[in-house]
Amino acid sequence: MIRLFKVKEKQRELAEANGGSPLKRQSPGELRLHKDISELNLPNSCAISFPNGKADLMNYEVSIKPDEGYYTGGKLIFSFEVSSIYPHEAPKVKCKTKIYHPNIDLEGNVCLNILREDWKPVLNINTIVYGLYHLFTEPNHDHPLNHDAAAVLRDNPKMFESNVKGQ
């Protein structure tokens, strides 16, 4: 039988003996996020980075380079802020790239149902990234944050495409 408490105690003693600080306890949210990040299966057009270093898993960025749809060839950066009670609360996601999009407002707020009312603890980071990617392949004018962009997309898709390419 493995005695986990003994192993943890040994690790703590070794860290302190080597002049290091005692091991930092991770919150359940950090443990789950670590698992989610280690299991990411992103499309080739998406990447994750840690601007504060990998020691700060709770704040990271995802870049998306759509390879189809109106936004083909663009690069969009999203910041993720994950709370310690993750997965019981969805990460806060903001678009850092100024963009003309019906589901993203000028402050970078994102209208994606799984980030709000449809969030469930069984969802994960991979699900969010695919949801964000889907916003660029299929923008949704039915539930807009940018009402002007949504009206143009609904009423004049050619003009919408021109506006997207002109930004």
Which residues participate in catalysis according to the annotation?
111
CB distance 98 to 115 below 8 Å = no
| Residue among 72, 75, 74, 107 nearest 92 (CA) | 107
- Structure letter (DSSP) for residue 98: -
CB distance 136 to 65 below 8 Å = no
CB distance 117 to 143 below 8 Å = no
CB distance 90 to 106 below 8 Å = no
* Own/partner long-range contacts of 20-28 (Cβ < 8 Å, ≥24 apart): 27/84, 27/85, 28/84, 28/85
CB distance 115 to 93 below 8 Å = yes
Give the Cα separation of 34 and 37 in Å (integer): 5
